[in-house]
Amino acid sequence: MVVNSINFWVFFAVFLIPYFFLFRKMMHQNIWLLLASLFFYGWVDWKMVPLLFVVSAFYFFLGIKIEKSNQTSPKKASLFTILGIVAGVGVLFYFKYFNFFVGEFSGLFSAIGIHVNSSDMDIIMPIGVSFFTFKVMSYVIEIHRENIKPTRNPVVFAAYVAFFPTILSGPIDRPTTFLPQFNERRKLDFCNLSEGLKRILWGLFLKMCIADIISSWTDAVFSGYGHHNATTIIAAAVLYTLQLYTDFCGFSEMAIGVGRIMGFTVTENFCRPFFSQNIAEYWRRWHMSLTTWITDYVFMPLNVAFRDWGRNGIFLATLINMVIIGMWHGANWTFFWFGVYHGLMLILIILFEKQRKKMEKKYGLKKKESYIWFRRLLAFVLFAFGSMLFRSASVTDFIGMVKQVGQGFGPIYDEELPAIVVYVLPSVAVMLFREWVAEYKRDIHFFHSPNVYVRLASIALMISTIIYIGQLDGNSFIYFKF
């Protein structure tokens, strides 16, 4: 039951009617939200609902233990917190990485003549496990840091963990900002309804009019790269970067919109990343709920631990940070090297930061639009190159694609290309124009125009575009598999 399906909107409508009009007490709303979230998750993967129960119960009681120990025995509180982190990492490792390591060790043993039968060790990964485990780990860490008090209401905590708009693909909401929102009854608010529907509409446009149309073309190129030349492979890298962004940002927009209608403020996940001037800025604008989570709970502690090593400590913390971000996406060596690649890019930025600033000051480059757009283009090229590695099925495939680029340019693969040229490129232009308006704070408004006729015309045009060119039977979201 994906967010851009008829099933979801029927489910959401059925959920909203009693949520707003039948349940007059906050407690009843929270219970209904929890039941709806469990039903939603069970619809996707009912076998994993018990896991969600166990994880929620474990961290609910662990949070209370940590708070009590903070007052009586800080050492014990630290041990409980470590237990929470180890348990979260353990759940992730077992469901997400165990098969990978079993396969790698089996291959290693086979190479030295020892046969290992690993066929009975296959484990099904629960959808959303990367997201809800990060939620619960941040919960116990924040309690240990005394930034929040643990909730004594198991329904509220379970509803936070299983919150259906975000459980499958985020954003990753922090307990410090999200849990307090359960403490008052949510009312149907016209502003929330209007803004939520606009966010949902924009998300549907990104997903159905850009990402889903691109996907069949990029899939064909990446799966059969050996038949393509540099022209097609470079185009595929660029288009896949756009596909990845519009797919995931589209889901985030819809999740934020659904949450807004329900009376919740969900964490923002993207902030116009294609206007970034380097890779570091990309990561401050891309999948922000993940990057800030890793920065707060991994990079900063590592930075403190390695501070005696000076800049080398910063470099090591940065590299570990990015490798974790890479591997968070899945059990594949491509994600490991994706993290290494971005870690090295960030280290290079730190290494040459002083020289760059000195050059900018000397030649007065900082405010020159040509220089700014050159940096943006370079950052996009570097990010798109990393996206090739992210998308490749294996490191061997990635190396093969790079070699194909080295074979030279030629005619572009034109299967389904007319649809991309006719439909996708204008849609991308609309997306970039909207983001340009926001980035440069231009006084141009469509969805939010003070003129009611402009608003209605913009919304009608967007709906018509989705109906006319949108892939109504499009693919599931890319980040569902993470």
| Nearest in space to 37 (alpha carbons), one of 179, 181, 164, 186 | 164
CB under 8 A, 24+ apart: contacts of 322-328: 322/346, 324/294, 324/298, 325/283, 325/290, 325/291, 325/294, 327/97, 328/130, 328/290, 328/294, 328/482
Cα separation of 254 and 252, whole Å? 5
Task: Decide: 320 and 305 in contact? Cβ < 8 Å.
Answer: no
Q: Tell me how far apart the alpha carbons of residues 20 and 187 are, in angstroms, rounded to a whole number.
A: 6
Q: How far is CA 84 from the centre of its chain?
A: 23
* Catalytic pick among 144, 228, 329, 342: 329
Chain CA centroid to CA 322, Å: 15
Centre a 10 Å sphere on the Cβ of residue 381 and count the other Cβ atoms it contains.
Answer: 14
The Cα 199–Cα 252 span in angstroms is 9
Query: Which residue, chain included where needed, has tokens 């970034």?
Result: 276
Contact 172, 135 (CB under 8 A): yes
DSSP state of 309: G
Give the chain's largest Cα–Cα span: 75
342 is an active site residue: no
Q: Report the distance separating Cα 134 and Cα 60, nearest Å.
A: 14
> For residue 236, how many other CB atoms are within 10 A of its CB?
27
Do the Cβ atoms of 274 and 432 come closer than 8 Å? Answer: yes
Of 460, 475, 11, 419, the closest CA to residue 248 belongs to 475
End-to-end CA distance of the chain: 17
Cα–Cα distance between 50 and 458 in angstroms, integer? 45
* Cα–Cα distance for residue pair 177/270, rounded to 1 Å: 18
Q: Structure tokens of 348?
A: 């290079």
Contacts of 357 (CB under 8 A, 6+ apart): none
| Contact between residue 29 and residue 23 where contact means Cβ atoms under 8 Å apart | yes
Contact 298, 233 (CB under 8 A): no
Q: Are 4 and 204 in contact (CB under 8 A)?
A: yes
| Residues that are catalytic | 329
